[in-house]
């Protein structure tokens, strides 16, 4: 009897692009892909932090390079990426401006939607043009693309849009054997989110909504990224992988 073999999660020889990769979840994603054997391009705006991250990866023996670029600049995106080929794209760059509905300004709306939705859409359009069969696009979404929350109407709208584009892109790119999925984390403790927890009672309210009873750490995101990028997820597309400690199970 020939027994089935578990598909591996190695990414040797694959080329990956991670946006917003100089810190937080993006850096963790880049590290995870590099540790799985991929050649990783870290894309971010801040050159100093970006170069430090790439140097640390290279010093650890991984294949990594820096690309200082604003993903919201479509002209620059096209100029730098249109002729390149990537097997894996992680759309991680994003932002949030938590405010009550009546306090959200048009500037807030433009900032959040332009980065979370527009930039994600058009960098994907650019990269998948040359992506080979077997490629994987991973959109970093949020549990807030599936639930509502006070002061997050704008963020929820942007991540709901990411969920919609993920499903539609999966259908359109399926015939080319390119998979598109999203990862939906709960609150992950990073430099960007740490200030939220200074608000009186906020940390307690968050923990109360997470059945596992803790905040997420960037390490919690690394396995899901490698899984969705690897042959182990070969029949998974158009899906949202919840990494939320059970928040959306309630």
Residues with catalytic function? 155
Q: Is 240 helix (H, G, I), strand (E, B) or coil?
A: strand
CA–CA distance, 34 with 40 (Å, rounded to integer): 6
Task: Give how far Cα 175 sits from Cα of 2, 15, 123, 170, 206, Å.
Answer: 30, 21, 20, 9, 41
Assign residue 150 a region: left if phi > 0, alpha if psi is -120 to 50, beta otherwise?
A: beta
Q: Which residue has the tokens 């070969």?
A: 234
DSSP H helices, the chain, are 24-35, 47-59, 74-81, 106-113, 120-128, 153-173, 191-194, 202-208, 219-229
């Amino acid at each position: 009897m020939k027994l089935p073999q578990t598909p591996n999660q190695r990414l040797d020889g694959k080329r990956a692009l991670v946006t917003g990769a100089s810190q937080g979840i993006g850096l963790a994603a880049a590290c995870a892909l590099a540790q799985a054997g991929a050649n990783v391009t870290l894309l971010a705006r801040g050159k100093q932090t970006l170069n430090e991250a790439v140097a640390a990866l290279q010093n650890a023996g991984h294949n990594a390079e820096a690309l200082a670029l604003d993903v919201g600049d479509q002209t620059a995106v096209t100029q730098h990426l249109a002729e390149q080929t990537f097997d894996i794209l992680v759309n991680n760059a994003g932002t949030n401006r938590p405010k009550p509905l009546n306090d959200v300004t048009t500037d807030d709306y433009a900032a959040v939607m332009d980065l979370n939705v527009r930039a994600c859409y058009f960098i994907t359009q650019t990269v998948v043009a040359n992506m080979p069969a077997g490629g994987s696009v991973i959109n970093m979404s949020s549990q807030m693309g599936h639930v509502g929350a006070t002061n997050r109407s704008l963020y929820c709208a942007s991540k709901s849009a990411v969920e919609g584009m993920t499903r539609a892109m999966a259908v359109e790119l399926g015939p080319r054997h390119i998979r598109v999925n999203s990862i939906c984390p709960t609150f992950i403790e990073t430099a960007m989110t740490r200030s939220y927890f200074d608000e009186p009672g906020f940390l307690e309210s968050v923990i109360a909504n997470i059945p596992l009873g803790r905040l997420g750490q960037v390490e919690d995101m690394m396995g899901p990224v490698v899984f969705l990028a690897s042959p182990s997820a070969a029949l998974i597309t158009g899906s949202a992988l919840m990494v939320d400690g059970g928040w959306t199970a309630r």
